[in-house]
Amino acid sequence: MSELERFTISIDRRLLEQFDDLNSQCGYANRSEAIRDLIRDRLVTEHWRAPSDEARAAATVTIVYDPHTSDLSEKLTHLQHSQGDLVVSTLHVHLGGQSCLETVVLRGTAKEVKQLADRMIALKGVKHGKAVLTVEGEDLP
């Protein structure tokens, strides 16, 4: 860790008690580590609020879909091939006769990654899709 800074904050006692309870349930060793994670999460969220053409980013996209839905499987494969420079890895799991789960790891500029994630989730026949948008982490202490 780089240089440490200590600061004091004022907070409603009940709010702090709830925060401490939650941190305890989550397994945080101390309050400082929980607050550091909150700050990092806020910074990453802001990073994605207006995805830039230059900033590097990474994401996982998880979708659940019915493999029998018209040409969804082909469209999904085509989409990933056409953006091959962004697709790092794909994991496909057959959940059952009517459902497949696919998790795709993307890496590239924030704008490109967000666009591809949105397009995959929006494909007709996708039952549920969720993207976890994150950063490469080098600028995040």
Helix (H) or strand (E) holding 38: helix 31-49
The residues that touch Ni ion, with contacts defined as CB under 5 A, are 94, 100
User: Is the CB of residue 125 less than 8 Å from the CB of residue 69?
Assistant: yes
Nearer to Ni ion, 51 or 129 (CB): 129
Between residues 72 and 135, which has the closer beta carbon with respect to Ni ion?
Answer: 72
CB of 90 to Ni ion, least distance (A): 12
CB of residue 115 to Ni ion, shortest distance in Å: 25
Cβ at position 67, least distance to Ni ion in Å:
5
The alpha-carbon radius of gyration of the chain (Å, integer) is 19
Query: Nearer Cβ to Ni ion, position 72 or 110?
Result: 72
Rounded-to-integer distance, Cα 38 and Cα 63, Å: 27
Token output for 61: 């996209």
